[in-house]
Amino acid sequence: MLTVSKKKYAYLEKLSDKNKMINALAIDQRGSLKKMIAANSTKEVGDEGIINFKIEISRELTQFSSAILLDPEYGLPAAEARDENAGLLISYEKTGYDATEVGRLPDLLPIWSAKRIKELGADAVKILLYFDVDEDDAINDQKLAFTERVGSECMAEEIPYFLEIVTYDANNDDVKSAEYAKVKPHKVNEAMKIFSDERYGVDVLKVEVPVNMNFVEGFAKEGEAVYTREEAMNYYKEQSEATHLPFIFLSAGVTAELFQDTVRFAKEAGSTFNGVLCGRATWSNSVAIFAREGAEAAQEWLRSEGRKNIEDLNVAVAESASPWTDKVQVAK
């Protein structure tokens, strides 16, 4: 059981739906989103394009989400445009990592702090950490210290700390391969164990599902299954047992339909996950429309397909997730 202050508990409630589950929308992408827009546009896409796209997403979709995750570099106008009932998470890390350096080391945005993020009116601080549990100790120790520092800041400010863990294999860059699928359960579940330690001060883990669903029997193309259905279910159960903290699933860019199926599969497996923080699975198909046809055309898509994606996912989460209040108590 996680024990938090009354202030942190109140913030978590602001990020949740009436069932105390988190149905949040993620659009804190920066470099990758700029590339997505540019790839579909015939003209130069500057900062204004990415800012305006985030505004459209926030304005149209937060009325169906319990919260939205944004970045302070391009996302602050979108934060202002969100529905009055939607909570706000803000990313604190620099986007991406230096591919010329070994270890995918994280870094913080230099003019931001947990205090400044809180002063924006945010309800949580989010950090993205690339982590390979089997990587050299000299690299991982830097990441552990990094995570501790942010945890200390959030504790001092009494604001929830969401740690997003994206796993990888230092010896295999292809995380979509069958080879990586075989080691993914180990990578995901062991990382969760590590960062559940009280010393890191994490309140909510934002994590991948422990298997690549494209390689699960019944979901995989013929001849491509890496896990039987039963093996996959066992990995979901192990994931729940790896932490006492609330945890929510990220969508990792899969289709809306597959993510909804994944959420239901997790429930069937006995997972005690507490919601989702879903990005591209909800809105990625609107990027090309925005880039080629403009804001009005994107609005039309968001009001139909985008809304449907979120509402369908909300139904899946309501049927499948557990309230985080099962895992959190207020300090006396």
What's the alpha-carbon Rg for the chain, to the nearest Å?
A: 19
Q: Output the pLDDT for position 99.
A: 79
pLDDT at 173 over 90: no
For the stretch 72-127, pLDDT in tens is 999 999 999 999 999 999 999 999 888 788 999 999 999 999 999 999 999 999 99
Dihedral angle of Cα 54, 208, 248, 84, to the nearest 10 degrees = 0
Q: How far apart are CA 127 and CA 163, in angstroms?
A: 5
User: Distance (Å, rounded) from C-alpha 113 to C-alpha 15?
Assistant: 20
Q: Is 37 helix (H, G, I), strand (E, B) or coil?
A: helix
Evaluate if residue 134 carries a pLDDT over 90.
Answer: yes
pLDDT of the residue at 3: 97
Q: Could you give phi then psi for residue 274, rounded to 5 degrees?
A: -120, 20
> Span 21-45, mean pLDDT?
89
Confidence of residue 306 (pLDDT cuts 50, 70, 90): very high
What was the pLDDT predicted at 318? 97
The per-residue pLDDT for range 58-72, each reduced to its tens digit, is 999 999 999 999 999
pLDDT at 45 over 80: no
pLDDT over 90 at 210, yes or no? yes
**What CATH architecture applies to the domain 2-330?**
Alpha-Beta Barrel (3.20)
**What confidence tens digit (pLDDT) does each residue in 280-301 have?**
999 999 999 999 998 999 999 9
Count CA atoms within 13 Å of residue 181 on its CB side. 18
Query: DSSP readout, 257-286?
Result: HHHHHHHHHHHHTT----EEEE-HHHHTHH
Tens digit of each residue's pLDDT (9 = 90 or more) over 139-160: 999 999 999 999 999 999 999 9
Model confidence over 220-244: pLDDT tens digits?
887 789 999 999 999 999 999 999 9
Note the pTM of the prediction, 2 decimals. 0.96
pLDDT at 225: 93
Q: H helices within 42-95, ranges in order?
A: 47-61, 76-80
Query: ∠ CA 42-71-15 to the nearest 5 degrees?
Result: 125
Closest CA to 183 of 164, 169, 166: 169
Domain definitions of the chain by residue range: 2-330
- How is residue 34 written in tokens? 């700029």
What are the structure tokens assigned to 22, written together? 């988190």
Position 44 confidence tier, pLDDT thresholds 50, 70, 90: confident
Contact 175, 216 (CB under 8 A): no
pLDDT at position 131 over 90: yes
- Name which of 11, 144, 141, 7 is nearest 66 in CA terms: 11
